[in-house]
Structure 1
Amino acid sequence: MEGSDIYRGSNSLRSTSFRLRRNKTTSSENVFSKTSSSCEEEDDEEALKWASLEKLPTYNRLRKGLLATSRGVANEIDITELGFQDRQKLLDRLIKVAEEDNENFLLKLRERIDRVGLNIPTVEVRFEHLNVEAEVLVGSRAMPTFLNFAINRVESVLTFLHIMSSKKKQVTIFKDVSGIIKPRRMTLLLGPPSSGKTTLLLALSGKLDPSLKVSGRVSYNGHEMNEFVPQRTAAYISQHDVHIGEMTVRETLTFSARCQGVGSRYDLLSELSRREKEAKIKPDSDIDVYMKATTIGGQEASLVTDYVLKILGLDICANTMVGNEMLRGISGGQRKRVTIGEMLVGPANALFMDEISTGLDSSTTFQIVSSLKQYVHILNGTAFISLLQPTPETYELFDDIVLISDGEIIYQGPREHVLDFFHCMGFNCPERKSVADFLQEVN
């Protein structure tokens, strides 16, 4: 009797444990089935919302988007009414760390454009037989004193009346220089001080002083300067930081973005959206919202401004006044980054940067140039950057080198061939000297 009781007890225990295991398995299967079914329902709901957006007219469709909430639910939003928190959450999803995620973000933009076979516009800048001359006073007469100012005014009137001849002398800044700045390539401009770097950048960007005598030809994709407005295509970044000290960093960049407009971004996105609609392609919702936000100009708050603030490391001082000599504000390095950001928020495809490393440490310079390289290589930009003494790491980021001295171009070509060129000329770079320093000294 005792053995049978033990046997029956063990059987009852086994049956009970089996039922418990089966119940657990069934409950876990139900949990996973509910999760998968809920995900399918959310995907179906998002697909229906996107289908309703596709039925809107083009103008309305480019102002609507699907933005995911914290719970992962996509809601239809008006791009023009994006709040600060929504913009920050969107940027955090796209770019968590600027140094690591910016390239992946740009690749996603390029992937969406390439998926429909759309070509990104490029800008190729050529200058042929460029000559720049200036009439200047030399010696003590060139000093900015009150006496010289009065004498100069009198002499200018007498010279205009042909009573006396001008005492100004002709100074040649450039003499018969030619070259090409290619798209999708980072071009570095090197040269000693007063060699003509700033004048060359100003001439190519269409911002040269009209009092200078200029001859030769500067063209963008074969079109000369008088055929279009170069300021809408090219952006010149000065080596001088000139800002309104009472404005914050965010206000400065936002004001610059509103002044420059959106350029061809709207036309590009309109054609992109049309092709996606024909091919029945649904883009990534976050990328779609970002691209649509970049096509809306004249807003007090811009997603492009937030993006530039993040990649330049200015988000930590976005609400701090820029400051000046009389007003305390941001540091000198941050002020230089504001100068760079003022042009990056615009739609220009060609960037001409003059001594952007002044006031920046080597690490920050490397980070900024690296971000520019990613933009140029991925989105077909054109960059012509002047640096005084770049570090070896920053120097390696460039594709082409332009070496200038006394208004003449000594070398222009790939970075890899510059040492071979000077070796053939009889100049060898010492083993422990950086290539950039060697090129500066060989001038």
Structure 2
Amino acid sequence: MEVRFQNLTLSAELEYSNNPETIKVPSVASALKSIAKSFAPTKRTATKYILKDVSGVFKPGTMTLIRGQPGSGKSSLMKILSGRFPMAKNIKMEGEITYNGVPHPAIIKRLPQYVLYVTQRDNHFPTLSVKETLEFAHEWCGGELSEREKKRFNQGSPEENQAALEAARALHRHYPEVVIQQLGLENCQDTVVAMLRGVSGGERKRVTTGEMAFGNKYVTLMDEISTGLDSAATYDIIKTQRSIAKKLCKTVVIALLQPSPEVFHLFDDVMILNKGRVMYHGPCEQVTTYFEDLVFHCPPKRDVADFLMDLGTHRQAQYERNDSILPSPLRYAHGFAEAFANSDIYKAMLKNLHGPHDSVLLQDKEEVVDHIPEFHQSFLESTWALLRRQMKFTLRNTAFIKARALLVLVVSFFYGSVFWNVDPNDAQV
């Protein structure tokens, strides 16, 4: 699935404070004052731009790295593209987003069925094993071939169609095992995903990725997945995602804070954000040459990823070339954004942005994308799946069951002792 976005702007109207550094202690008076301010006819507000005129194309079969300082808009961009950004009355979104040519508003309700979004944190049920976690995710996404998918096996003879259908059913039935093998989780598939005595941090991150991969997602968005991982675990995860992107022709976009040189070279494209603006979006092999033309030189012993991270900050002075005949180097985010808008790389990106869609993508949209439902399961099927999972949690939590049983016995003993040897004919009773 090809994701295109043009002039994407995200802003928030925030109430202006005379002294923003003052922290008020919550009290009844402050709560009443806040309620009174909400009914005021005029409010002093200021516009905060989270993203400003962001344009780009994420193509299938490629892997894009998003770089930027904290607060640059990386997570906001990913959440908007995945349909998970918490919109509110004071938040305004402008611009155009399309998925294989389908506008964002027309697909917003079904967007979680196409786009995989992996957050920074790994939230799992600790008493479930790796295999059980992935099996539940697979069941929640349907578990079996749908009737629409079965009808697609009609290109050969009846015997060939039946054989292909049986093979697809077998693959779909054992898809959790396939994901376990793809992510290298065979040795820990029966280990619980616990924080105290469970899988390692890298394995837990792979479980999070695999859990979100069910349901035939076309786009993968991963936000700061290297948090808490060493460089070796990060490299293994990124290498696996690159293999999936190339073999399955998926669109993979990953935001990393401190990638190693080996990890950086696994990506095809890189997008650099600074204060919500795009400083660069293009091939990784051209990024150093581009900034060389802007009088910024990456030293031989400096990682390219760290070099890109320092641009647009107070640390960029160490990369400025004094022998350049060009004007003084850029200092702020809007200056870098204007320079990129005048570059040949930006013009090539605009050509892809405004160009026609691939006929294969349009055919896939008509045959597959348009027919994917908003929910894979009915209400009763979802309720039954949740009930079975909760029963499994309860039965495995032996400490809770024993403590609860002991509590019931102790409370019953005290209640029973209140009426011990009480005369039922006593008038006070």
Other structure's SS at 2:138 match: helix
Structure 1 position 125, deviation (Å)? 0.6
1:256 aligned residue: 137
1:240 aligns with 2:121: yes
Tell me the alpha carbon deviations over residues 265-322 of structure 1, each in whole angstroms, 9 at most, x when there is no partner.
Answer: 8756643x32243896998x9xx86632344xxxxxx522122222223222222222
Superposition RMSD in Å:
3.0
Structure 1 position 140, deviation (Å)? 6.2
Q: What does 1:95-134 correspond to in 2, within 5 Å?
A: 123-134=1-12
1:318 aligned residue: 189
**Uncovered stretches (5+) of structure 2, i.e. residues with no partner:** 313-429
* Higher alpha-carbon deviation: 311-320 or 211-220: 311-320
Structure 1 position 218, deviation (Å)? 1.3
Q: What does 1:278-297 correspond to in 2, within 5 Å?
A: 291-295=168-172
**Uncovered stretches (5+) of structure 1, i.e. residues with no partner:** 1-122, 296-301
1:335 aligned residue: 204
Tell me the alpha carbon deviations over residues 185-224 of structure 1, each in whole angstroms, 9 at most, x when there is no partner.
Answer: 1111111222111001101111111123212111111211
Equivalent pairs counted in the alignment come to 306
> Measured at CA, do residues 173 and 306 of structure 1 come closer, stay the same or move farther in structure 2, by a change above 3 Å?
same
2:59 counterpart (178, 182, 194)? 182
> Measured at CA, do residues 368 and 167 of structure 1 come closer, stay the same or move farther in structure 2, by a change above 3 Å?
same
* Higher alpha-carbon deviation: 207-216 or 330-339: 330-339
1:405 aligns with 2:280: no
1:215 counterpart (94, 117, 122)? 94
Other structure's SS at 1:258 match: helix
With the length of structure 1 as denominator, give the TM-score of the two structures.
0.62
Structure 1 position 183, deviation (Å)? 1.2
1:275 aligns with 2:152: no
C-alpha distance in 1 between matches for 2:213 and 2:302: 33
> Measured at CA, do residues 164 and 149 of structure 1 come closer, stay the same or move farther in structure 2, by a change above 3 Å?
farther
Q: What does 1:9-408 correspond to in 2, within 5 Å?
A: 123-136=1-14, 147-148=25-26, 154=32, 157-160=35-38, 162-163=39-40, 165-166=42-43, 169-211=46-88, 212-228=91-107, 229-261=110-142, 267=148, 270-271=151-152, 273-277=153-157, 291-295=168-172, 302-324=173-195, 328-408=197-277
C-alpha distance in 2 between matches for 1:306 and 1:338: 12
C-alpha distance in 2 between matches for 1:376 and 1:263: 24
> Measured at CA, do residues 266 and 356 of structure 1 come closer, stay the same or move farther in structure 2, by a change above 3 Å?
farther
> Measured at CA, do residues 260 and 168 of structure 1 come closer, stay the same or move farther in structure 2, by a change above 3 Å?
farther
* Higher alpha-carbon deviation: 130-139 or 418-427: 130-139
1:423 aligns with 2:292: yes
Other structure's SS at 1:292 match: helix
Tell me the alpha carbon deviations over residues 32-51 of structure 1, each in whole angstroms, 9 at most, x when there is no partner.
Answer: xxxxxxxxxxxxxxxxxxxx
> Measured at CA, do residues 148 and 142 of structure 1 come closer, stay the same or move farther in structure 2, by a change above 3 Å?
farther
2:426 aligned residue: none
CA contact (8 A) 2:261 2:303 kept: yes
User: Which residue identity does 1:420 align to in structure 2?
Assistant: T
Tell me the alpha carbon deviations over residues 144-181 of structure 1, each in whole angstroms, 9 at most, x when there is no partner.
Answer: x8x44867754564344x33655664321111111111
Structure 1 position 408, deviation (Å)? 0.4
Other structure's SS at 2:299 match: coil
User: Which residue identity does 2:50 align to in structure 1?
Assistant: I
User: Which residue identity does 2:177 align to in structure 1?
Assistant: D
CA contact (8 A) 2:145 2:169 kept: no
Tell me the alpha carbon deviations over residues 51-81 of structure 1, each in whole angstroms, 9 at most, x when there is no partner.
Answer: xxxxxxxxxxxxxxxxxxxxxxxxxxxxxxx
With the length of structure 2 as denominator, give the TM-score of the two structures.
0.64
2:336 aligned residue: none
C-alpha distance in 2 between matches for 1:238 and 1:390: 17
> Measured at CA, do residues 164 and 282 of structure 1 come closer, stay the same or move farther in structure 2, by a change above 3 Å?
closer
C-alpha distance in 2 between matches for 1:329 and 1:142: 43
C-alpha distance in 1 between matches for 2:22 and 2:180: 41
CA contact (8 A) 1:141 1:148 kept: no
C-alpha distance in 2 between matches for 1:170 and 1:435: 34
C-alpha distance in 1 between matches for 2:290 and 2:144: 40
Other structure's SS at 1:275 match: coil
Q: Give the % identical residues.
A: 35
* Higher alpha-carbon deviation: 353-362 or 165-174: 165-174
1:93 aligned residue: none
2:382 aligned residue: none
C-alpha distance in 2 between matches for 1:399 and 1:269: 35
C-alpha distance in 1 between matches for 2:250 and 2:292: 32
User: Which residue identity does 1:217 align to in structure 2?
Assistant: E
Structure 1 position 385, deviation (Å)? 0.8
C-alpha distance in 1 between matches for 2:237 and 2:167: 22
CA contact (8 A) 2:202 2:234 kept: no
